[in-house]
Amino acid sequence: MKKSENILGGAEIFFECLRREKVEHIFGYPGGAVLKIYEHLHDVNFLQHILVRHEQGAVHAAEGYAKASGKVGVVLVTSGPGATNTVTGIADAYMDSVPIVIFTGQVPSHLIGNDAFQEADIVGITRPITKHSFLVRDVNDLAATIRKAFYIASTGRPGPVLVDLPKDVIASKCEFIYPEDVEIRGYKPTYKGHVNQIKKVVEVIAAAKRPLLYVGGGVIMSGGSQELAFFARENKLPVAMTLQGLGAFPGTDSLSVGMLGMHGTYWANRAVDTCDVLVSLGARFDDRVTGKVETFAKNAYKIHVDIDPTCIDKNVVVDLPIVGDVKHIIAEIASEMPNPPDTEEWLSQINEWREECPLVYEDNDGRLRTEFVIEKIYEKTKGEAVIVTDVGQHQMWTAQFYRYNHPRSNLTSGGLGTMGFSLPAAIGASFAVKNRPIISISGDGGFQMNIQELITAAANKVPVKFIIINNSFLGMVRQWQELFHAEKYSFTDLSASNPDFVKVGEAFGIESYSTDNPKEVDSLLDKAFSVNDRPILLEFKVVKADMVFPMVPSGGSISEMIVKRLNPKRMI
């Protein structure tokens, strides 16, 4: 190729790089600073651009896409407000280690710092919530920067990377040289675990009487679910999962003790409290899991496997850390295990706890409850669906009552707890997963936080089942108000101010149904599952003031776990 033939404009280089990164979908919203990119996008045919209605929606959609597929989610927005609207989504992706690359337009280089129209220092604003960020100052750096951005986002502990693109850089031309290899001297993630540490882990687990695996989202991200299943089953090790870890191990397996932590199962929390060896795999000892750190797994020898060294000894000081890729480390531990530890007694103890305090709910008063809806969804999908939850009570009930068969099936905002996540994230996931149902579950509060994306769903005919669990309250906040804030239900009652969700859905061109009758749940779900070429919306009007139990109060110990409502007369 002659050199002159390889002179490309910034926008062409941009798309050439995306093509080589095998990007097939991009979530975005055009604007002044990225017009040149959109001009070229018009003729690009190797990828699909999905137009959102708010930039936050684009980021959550990219997150849903990335979480469901394991690929990097890509966002393209303009400068100023377009960029600042992505901030919540970026923070969400940072907390939950979601690999996304956000391209933001920027005012021309010579105007940076001048308070130019639609200028915002988005690199500065997002510095603490990105894994890394770049401001491209020269078109000659563009290809290498994009290459690095994808590399950083998807390797090590994944996370969001932002690339800020000044308008003049995109409009400039240069010779296109694509760097096949990436070399960043300050960034060398550790993948291989320390051999001696692994030997030590094997010894400790082999000698354990009451071992427990504490599994987080890292296992799913590293693709280590099969290795985990083999390891746990071969050695009869019970598996507790964090919110993000659900799906890493089949929820129906007898070794699964479900979710641990604040709203974890009674038996999972008792198991953590009693275990003698706790093996944390790709989890970060989050405060929603540990409660009071001083009493968390107080009798246990703690092993912590994580790819991010900063996670080790951050919240809880452990006895044996291993830095590396959890998939490979599980496989190595499994292959070195001499004999399985004798856990029969321990497993039967856990089963006693399971029977002592199972997950139950009131189901004989003829009124509709969230748990019932979730159980019905489970019944219909047999754990095969991709469930995208929002934040709050419905999220916890889903975590308790839906049992996932596969990794990358449970998409939710865990770390940041972003209301408004589910609706756009489910749309994003629908572009990654074609052969399984995608179910978005939101509360009535969170559903309204990115409600504008309903039109994105309708316009793209995505087969997402939007389920609104409407208790006419900001339910989780209400729960805290009842338990810890003197029953002052300050600004959590939406019953007088919620919209008619069926009319809302219909206004966006989406077939919508509503019920408060448990007997109608089956038929509505059947209707939803019969529709596979467009979105459908179901509103379930549930009991107003139910609470999620068990509950370990914030910062409390397992011994303070509340297992049921203390004052039954408040069961309205």
Partner 1 sequence: MKHTISVLVENHFGAFDRVATMFSGKGFNIRSISIGETEIVDISRMTIVTEGDDQIIDQVVKQLNRLIDTIKVVDLANTYHVERELALISLSLHKGSMEQIKNICDIFRGNVVDITNKSMMIEVTGPPDKIDAAVNVLAPFGIKEMARSGIVALKRGEQLKIQKKDNITT
Neighbouring CB atoms inside 10 A of 511's CB total 16
Q: Is the peptide bond before 550 cis (omega within 30 degrees of 0)?
A: yes
Distance between CA atoms of residues 476 and 1, nearest Å:
62
Q: Which of 81, 113, 124, 499 binds partner 1 (CB under 8 A)?
A: 124
Cα dihedral: 468, 470, 472, 473 (round 10): -80
Q: Judged by CB under 8 A, does residue 187 bind partner 1?
A: yes
Among 128, 338, 366, 568, binds partner 1 (CB under 8 A): 128
The yes or no reply on residue 416 touching partner 1 (CB under 8 A) is no
Residue 27 annotated as catalytic: no
Does the footprint of partner 1 cover residue 302 (CB under 8 A)? Answer: no
Query: Choosing from 22, 117, 209, 484, which is the catalytic residue?
Result: 117
Annotated catalytic residue 476 = yes
Distance (Å, rounded) from C-alpha 330 to C-alpha 334?
Answer: 6
Interface residue with partner 1, options 2, 42, 185, 569 (CB under 8 A): 185
CA dist 101 and 132 (Å) reads 10
In angstroms, give the least distance from the CB of 219 to partner 1: 21
Q: 353 by DSSP, 3-state: which?
A: helix
Q: Which residues pair with 75 in a beta bridge?
A: 27, 102
Query: Pick from 49, 53, 137, 200: which binds partner 1 (CB under 8 A)?
Result: 137
Tokens 């039967």 correspond to what residue?
A: 348
Question: Which C-beta is closer to partner 1: that of 87 or that of 232?
Answer: 87
Residue 553 is a binding residue for partner 1 (CB under 8 A): no
Stretch that binds partner 1, among 308-316, 389-397, 480-488, 526-534 (CB under 8 A): 308-316
C-beta of residue 67 within 8 angstroms of C-beta of residue 404: no
Specify the residue, 321 or 475, whose C-beta has the smaller distance to partner 1.
321
Residue 38, Cβ neighbours under 10 Å: how many?
17
Stretch of residues binding partner 1 (CB under 8 A), selected from 30-38, 191-199, 261-269, 303-311: 303-311
309 is a contact residue toward partner 1 (CB under 8 A): yes
127 makes contact with partner 1 (CB under 8 A): yes
199 contacts 336 by C-beta, under 8 angstroms: yes
- Looking at residue 191, what DSSP letter applies? -
Q: Does the annotation mark 180 as catalytic?
A: no
Asked whether position 181 contacts partner 1 by CB under 8 A, the answer is: no
The single residue among 23, 59, 87, 135 that binds partner 1, judged by CB under 8 A, is 135
Amino acid at 384: E
With residue 231 as reference, give the H or E element that holds it.
helix 225-234
Dump the DSSP string for 419-471: TT-HHHHHHHHHHH--SS-EEEEEEHHHHTTSGGGHHHHHHTT--EEEEEEE-
Residue 186 touching partner 1 (CB under 8 A): yes
Nearest distance from C-beta of residue 237 to partner 1, angstroms: 29
Distance (Å, rounded) from C-alpha 33 to C-alpha 112? 12
Give the per-residue contact string, 140-159, with partner 1 (x = CB under 8 A; - = no). Answer: ------------x-------
Left, alpha or beta for 568 (phi > 0: left; psi -120 to 50: alpha)? alpha
Catalytic residue of the set 21, 55, 375, 453: 55
In terms of CB distance, is 236 or 314 closer to partner 1? 314
Cβ of 180: how many Cβ atoms within 10 Å?
6
Shortest distance in whole angstroms from residue 128 CB to partner 1: 4
3-state secondary structure of 154: helix
Amino acid identity, position 196: N
Please, what is the minimum distance in Å from the beta carbon of residue 447 to partner 1? 32
Nearest CB to partner 1, comparing residues 124 and 499: 124
Least gap, CB of 315 to partner 1 (angstroms): 10
According to DSSP, residue 10 is labeled H
Interaction mask 47-66, partner 1, x per CB under 8 A: --------------------
3-state DSSP: the chain helix, strand, coil percent, rounded to 5?
A: 40, 15, 40
Q: State which residue, 143 or 469, has the beta carbon closest to partner 1.
A: 143
Q: How many residues bind partner 1 (CB under 8 A)?
A: 21
Position 310 contacts partner 1 (CB under 8 A)? yes
- Kindly state whether residue 184 participates in binding partner 1, applying the rule CB under 8 A: yes
Q: Give least dist CB 273 to partner 1, A.
A: 23
Name the packing angle between helices 344-356 and 266-274 (round to 10°): 140
- β-pairing, 173-175 with 211-215? unpaired
Alpha-carbon Rg of the chain, whole angstroms?
24
| Residue 131 in the binding site for partner 1 (CB under 8 A) | yes
Q: Which is nearer to partner 1, 110 or 127 (CB)?
A: 127
Shortest distance in whole angstroms from residue 120 CB to partner 1: 16
497, exposed or middle or buried, with CB in 10 Å at 0-12, 13-18, 19+? Answer: exposed
**Closer to partner 1 by Cβ: residue 128 or 338:** 128
Minimal distance in Å, beta carbon 201 to partner 1? 21
CA neighbours closer than 13 Å in the CB half-sphere of residue 515? 17
Between CA 227 and CA 236, with CA 231 as vertex, the angle to 5 degrees is 150
192 binds partner 1 (CB under 8 A): no
Interface segment toward partner 1; rule CB under 8 A; list 104-112, 127-135, 275-283, 504-512: 127-135
Residues 447-506 that bind partner 1 (CB under 8 A): none
CB 253 within 8 A of CB 234: no
Tokens read off for 251: 């929820």
298 binds partner 1 (CB under 8 A): no
Of 145 and 242, nearer to partner 1 (C-beta) is: 145
* Nearest-approach distance from CB 317 to partner 1, in angstroms: 7
CB of 278 or CB of 316, closer to partner 1? 316
Window contacting partner 1 (CB under 8 A); options: 108-116, 126-134, 233-241, 563-571: 126-134
Task: Report how far residue 536's alpha carbon sits from residue 282's, in angstroms, rounded to the nearest whole number.
Answer: 35
Residues that bind partner 1 (CB under 8 A): 123-124, 127-128, 131-133, 135, 137, 152, 184-187, 308-310, 312-314, 317
Q: Which residues are catalytic?
A: 55, 117-118, 167, 476
